[in-house]
Amino acid sequence: MRFSTLFNLFVIALSIAISAEAAEDTDSAYRLGSGYAVNKTGLRIGGYANALIGAPRAAPWHFEVTDLSLFLTWDNGSRLRFFSELEAGDVLRAGEHQSLETQNAHFEFERFYIDGLVNNNLTVRLGKFLTPIGQWNLIHAAPLVWTTSRPVATENSFSTHASGLMLHGSALFANRQLEYSVYGDVTNSIDPHRSKEPFDNAVGGQLRYLLSDTLQIGASFANFTLTNLQSSRYYLSGLDAMWSYQKFELSSEIIYRTSDHANIKNTWQGFAQSVIPLFSQRWFVVGRYEFFDQSQDTTGQVGVLGLAYRPLPPIVWKLEYRMGTHNEILAPDGLSASFAILF
């Protein structure tokens, strides 16, 4: 694909961003970032899109429209609520030796569940949902995170989705909010192709304590098998923390996974990330350090330095460079840029 085609795609993305900014100022049922409210039915339609250009140091450059997601929410104030996310993945792809194509495009339900509110402290969820391990996996949509690349620790050691039953809610503990979730992955029939290495069966949970308006800590655990790996049960525990103040942000996640199979290596993985606002708090410098044990004896390490521009909260342009050691397979060196919009 010629550079002129890339430039045209850039102009289209910029036009979308400008139009979205204009829509933000109108008084209508649609609001950028919150979707479209369908009269008084309780239905709301929204979603997000993400496009990226990657230039790995040891591979040809590529362009992808990686995600085009449609949200459908129903909440009429009753005890029942519904949410679904239909995602089109790999919608468009091109590269240094590859013309623009759509042959890898696919559709799947990223999420699909019903919530039943039992009381103010307990909700029962049935369906397919994001696995509550750490924070990144629960807010991973491209417009909501700061980098084009995803930390290895947030997806490499567990299934990012679960299908079954979850109990979740919150309660006061020492005058602060304590959020909890407990889940069981009990079926493949809801969506048998929900991830590269889906849970075969799993139980787990998460606790999150809001120490203040600016600081929160979390703890996660899971016991599971993965369908595409050796027949073995895995045990995962994790800790995460986030501090934010006037658009400054520090966050970190660490996980430890063991197995009952003697030949499977126990692994540590984690990251620490900082976000610093610049220039009227629309530009942000992002820095991240990652480490991840691998099946080989070597431990991979990666540093990410990036720049993010948010003209509006639901719109973000990102540019970053990633460099590390023993990281060729899971997080290779290279430059990447992306545009994401929550609509």
Q: What angle do CA 29, 30, 36 make, to 5 degrees?
A: 90
Compute the half-sphere exposure of residue 186: CA atoms within 13 Å on the CB side of its CA.
7
C-beta atoms surrounding 219 within 10 Å? 14
Q: What's the pLDDT at 149?
A: 95
Q: Which residue has the higher pLDDT, 106 or 9?
A: 106
Summarize the confidence of residues 272-295 as an average pLDDT: 93
Q: What's the pLDDT at 52?
A: 93
pLDDT in tens, 202-255: 999 999 999 999 999 999 999 998 876 666 889 999 999 999 998 999 999 999
SS (H, E, C) 226-292: ECCCCCCCEEEEEEEEEEEECCEEEEEEEEEEEECCCCCCCEEEEEEEEEEEECCCCEEEEEEEEEE
Domain at 201, CATH number: 2.40.160.10
* Number of domains present in the structure of the chain: 1
Is the separation of the CB atoms in 308 and 318 below 8 Å? yes
With cut-offs at 50, 70 and 90, classify the pLDDT of residue 75: very high
Q: Is the per-residue pLDDT at 12 higher than 90?
A: no
Q: What's the pLDDT at 189?
A: 60
pLDDT in tens, 121-174: 999 999 999 999 999 999 989 999 999 999 999 998 999 999 999 999 999 999
Range scoring the smallest mean pLDDT among 190-199, 276-285, 291-300: 190-199
pLDDT in tens, 311-333: 999 999 999 999 999 999 899 99
pLDDT in tens, 168-191: 999 999 999 999 999 998 766 666
pLDDT, mean over the chain: 87
Q: Is the per-residue pLDDT at 1 higher than 50?
A: no
Summarize the confidence of residues 101-114 as an average pLDDT: 82
Q: Is the per-residue pLDDT at 10 higher than 60?
A: no
DSSP 186-198: --SSS-TTSSSS-
Q: What's the pLDDT at 332?
A: 94
Which residues form the domain of 286?
3-342
DSSP at 138: G
pLDDT in tens, 81-91: 999 999 887 77
